[in-house]
Structure 1
Protein backbone atom coordinates (compact mmCIF):
# COMPACT_ATOMS: atom_id res chain seq x y z
CA UNK A 1 0.00 0.00 0.00
CA UNK A 2 2.86 2.37 0.66
CA UNK A 3 3.94 1.44 -2.85
CA UNK A 4 0.79 3.14 -4.15
CA UNK A 5 1.64 6.40 -2.46
CA UNK A 6 5.34 6.48 -3.27
CA UNK A 7 4.95 5.28 -6.85
CA UNK A 8 1.84 7.11 -7.94
CA UNK A 9 1.77 9.88 -5.31
CA UNK A 10 -1.94 9.11 -5.00
CA UNK A 11 -3.22 9.70 -1.47
CA UNK A 12 -6.79 8.82 -2.47
CA UNK A 13 -5.73 5.38 -3.74
CA UNK A 14 -3.77 4.78 -0.54
CA UNK A 15 -6.77 5.69 1.65
CA UNK A 16 -9.05 3.51 -0.48
CA UNK A 17 -6.66 0.54 -0.18
CA UNK A 18 -6.35 0.96 3.60
CA UNK A 19 -10.16 0.97 3.82
CA UNK A 20 -10.65 -2.00 1.49
CA UNK A 21 -8.09 -4.10 3.39
CA UNK A 22 -9.79 -3.15 6.70
CA UNK A 23 -6.86 -1.30 8.26
CA UNK A 24 -9.04 1.78 8.71
CA UNK A 25 -12.70 2.65 8.85
CA UNK A 26 -14.30 5.93 7.81
CA UNK A 27 -17.38 8.04 8.10
CA UNK A 28 -20.00 7.57 5.42
CA UNK A 29 -18.91 10.75 3.62
CA UNK A 30 -15.18 9.89 3.88
CA UNK A 31 -14.34 13.01 5.88
CA UNK A 32 -12.81 11.10 8.83
CA UNK A 33 -10.73 7.94 9.05
CA UNK A 34 -9.53 5.93 12.04
CA UNK A 35 -7.43 2.82 12.59
CA UNK A 36 -9.22 -0.44 13.32
CA UNK A 37 -8.06 -2.69 16.13
CA UNK A 38 -5.97 -5.45 14.51
CA UNK A 39 -6.09 -8.01 17.35
Structure 2
Protein backbone atom coordinates (compact mmCIF):
# COMPACT_ATOMS: atom_id res chain seq x y z
CA UNK A 1 0.00 0.00 0.00
CA UNK A 2 2.75 2.40 0.97
CA UNK A 3 4.57 1.75 -2.27
CA UNK A 4 1.48 2.51 -4.32
CA UNK A 5 0.97 5.87 -2.60
CA UNK A 6 4.57 6.96 -3.13
CA UNK A 7 4.47 5.86 -6.77
CA UNK A 8 1.28 7.85 -7.43
CA UNK A 9 2.90 10.87 -5.77
CA UNK A 10 5.92 10.47 -8.00
CA UNK A 11 3.65 10.13 -11.04
CA UNK A 12 1.83 13.39 -10.32
CA UNK A 13 5.17 15.13 -9.78
CA UNK A 14 6.45 13.85 -13.12
CA UNK A 15 3.32 14.98 -14.94
CA UNK A 16 3.71 18.40 -13.29
CA UNK A 17 7.24 18.69 -14.67
CA UNK A 18 5.99 17.57 -18.08
CA UNK A 19 3.32 20.28 -18.02
CA UNK A 20 5.87 22.93 -17.02
CA UNK A 21 8.17 21.78 -19.80
CA UNK A 22 5.31 21.84 -22.30
CA UNK A 23 4.27 25.37 -21.34
CA UNK A 24 7.87 26.57 -21.40
CA UNK A 25 8.39 25.29 -24.93
CA UNK A 26 5.05 26.78 -26.00
CA UNK A 27 6.09 30.16 -24.59
CA UNK A 28 9.35 29.95 -26.51
CA UNK A 29 7.55 29.11 -29.74
CA UNK A 30 5.05 31.94 -29.23
CA UNK A 31 7.77 34.52 -28.54
CA UNK A 32 9.70 33.26 -31.55
CA UNK A 33 6.65 33.62 -33.80
CA UNK A 34 5.87 37.11 -32.50
CA UNK A 35 9.48 38.16 -33.03
CA UNK A 36 9.25 36.88 -36.61
CA UNK A 37 6.21 39.08 -37.24
CA UNK A 38 7.04 42.45 -38.86
Q: Which TM-score band applies after superposition, normalised by the shorter structure?
A: 0.3 to 0.5
TM-score (norm 1): 0.34
Higher RCO (Cα < 8 Å, 6 or more apart): 1
Task: Write 1 or 2 for the structure with the bigger share of helix.
Answer: 2
TM-score (norm 2): 0.34
Task: Write 1 or 2 for the structure with the bigger share of strand.
Answer: 1
